Amino acid sequence: MPIHKLAQGPLVLTVVKAEQQEGQFGSQVVFDGEGDVRVYVSELTAMKQLARLNLTMETVVGKTLHMEQVKKDGKTYTNITLAGAGQAATAPAAGQTAPAASARPAMTIEEIAHLYGRCVDYAVATLAMRCEELEIPLDAAALQSAAATLFIRASR
């Protein structure tokens, strides 16, 4: 199965299988797509991006995703979004870009509060557990910062 490297350009992929594997670069999530395309994403990044979309490795199967790498301030980030209407699942040729996802409608205050609550819950669950494992003190400011970061990304 051919491996698509996101550094070669964005990809729209209908997921047929997602699983965690240990790879050359540590723990990764492998997304297998229709058309025998495979993409490897670091586990931490994949889990954050899926959580932002309210998906898990089980519920992402059957969904069409838009995956891309973005460079900002000298760092490379992997973005995963649900593909917008009209985005067919194809691997673009090198140098070619996939169309951008459509803009979201405005949220109500109740939807915003619910989304922020979910971001706080996720930040507590992941950050608190990881800090405990590494024996790093955790404070309210770190949780608030993590939740705000998730919220900003999820609400774009």
pLDDT tens figures, 105-134: 677 888 888 888 888 888 777 777 777 888
Residue 83's pLDDT is: 85
Q: Is 93 part of any domain?
A: no
Does residue 96 lie within any of the structural domains?
no
Q: Are residues 114 and 78 in the same domain?
A: no
Query: Are 22 and 68 found together in one domain?
Result: yes
Co-location of 76 and 114 in the same domain = no
Asked if residue 48 is part of any domain, the answer here is yes
- What digits encode the pLDDT tens for the residues 46-91? 999 999 999 988 999 999 999 998 888 888 888 999 987 555 555 4
Verify that 126 and 70 share a domain, yes or no: no
Looking at the 3D structure of the chain, how many domains does it have?
Answer: 2
In a domain, 95, yes or no: no
- Has residue 18 been placed in a domain? yes
The number of residues in the chain equals 156
Owning domain of residue 22: 6-82
Same domain, 57 and 16: yes
Give CA–CA dist 83/65, Å, rounded.
5
pLDDT per residue over 13-49, tens digit each?
999 999 999 877 788 999 999 888 899 998 999 999 9
87 Ramachandran zone, left/alpha/beta (phi>0; psi -120 to 50): beta
